[in-house]
Amino acid sequence: MKKRIFGLSVKEIIIDLLFYIVGCAIYSVAVTSLITPNAVSPGGFTGIAAVVNYLTGFSTGFVLLVLNIPVIILGIVKLGGIFIVKTAIATGILSLCLEISERLVPQFTVNKILASIFGGILTGAGLSLILRRGATTGGVDIIGKLVNRRFRYITVGKVIFVADIMVIAFVSVVYKNIESGLYSIVAMYASARVTDAILYGLDKGKIVYAVTDKPEEICNRVSERVERGVTRLSVTGGYTGDNHTMLMCTVRINEVSAVCDIVKEIDPKAFVVVSDAGEIIGEGFKTDDS
């Protein structure tokens, strides 16, 4: 029987560490070489650490570690689980990478919009590697989970959003320049978009729901024209009490209009809803081993 630690095999642990090291290295280089020198913030605890570095001279990596230690300890006590362990390891590696990059990586003072965009792209790329292996860079993510556990109506996303707004305001005040805060928003947005693109890639698509009385014809036409499968669900109208069929078809973004056109062509009275699909795993998209 293979030895397992925290439920993980030695191979999984090694792969996790490699992803964390590479991801943290990319993230750190972006912060040190592009974001911080141009008075822009990456958001979260790293953003706070960078500003404290500007004010006091203490290294960003050291400040980040100091900020994260009490939060991680609280997370271990209140939440526990492999997620916190992985996050603690990733946070430690990130702090070390920031320490190294501040000493070895040159700083570039360039156009702020370029620094924000390319800095955001690199931080997003680094962060996506960390997230891919089930960890985060600590800080606000853990606080969000703790707050959500206590107040279920407050989502982790809302906590992160409020925290980023506070960081942006902090950056604007410290650098005495509202543009720094605005460029920080650009960097955060670029980072989020790249993170989503790397984590979900082309498998991010749409789900088309159609409530119709002509399911057979629509299913056949979608299969012929778009070559997508359709799932049928029996539904009952809450107001009328009438029985109908709801079709669910998962497609790529460029296939949405074709499916909607087919539905309206066959059943003009059909009720159609299109929603986002964050990640799609299965035949025709991404498989579990990809």
User: Nearest to residue 208, comparing CAs of 286, 280, 157?
Assistant: 280
Q: Which one is predicted more confidently, 13 or 197?
A: 13
Q: Is the pLDDT of residue 282 over 70?
A: no
Could you give the CA distance from residue 263 to residue 210 in angstroms, rounded to a whole number? Answer: 7
Q: Return the percentage of the chain with pLDDT > 70, whole number.
A: 91
Under the banding of pLDDT at 50, 70 and 90, the label for residue 1 is very low
Look over the chain and give the mean of its residue pLDDT values, rounded to a whole number: 86
Q: Which two tokens stand for residue 290?
A: 């990809």
User: Nearest to residue 26, comparing CAs of 108, 141, 120, 140?
Assistant: 120
pTM of this prediction? 0.73
Under the banding of pLDDT at 50, 70 and 90, the label for residue 132 is confident
What is the distance between the terminal CA atoms of the chain, rounded to a whole angstrom? 26
Under the banding of pLDDT at 50, 70 and 90, the label for residue 12 is confident
The third-level CATH classification (topology) of the domain covering 204-277 is: Alpha-Beta Plaits (3.30.70)
Q: How confident is the model over 15-29, as pLDDT tens digits?
A: 999 999 999 999 999
Under the banding of pLDDT at 50, 70 and 90, the label for residue 272 is very high
Average pLDDT over residues 90-110: 93
CA distances from 13 to 3, 5, 72, 93, 129 (A): 11, 8, 20, 14, 14
Q: How confident is the model over 161-219, as pLDDT tens digits?
A: 888 888 889 888 988 889 989 999 999 999 888 887 777 665 567 899 999 999 999 99
Q: Is the pLDDT of residue 111 over 50?
A: yes
Q: Domain map of the chain by residue range?
A: 4-201, 204-277
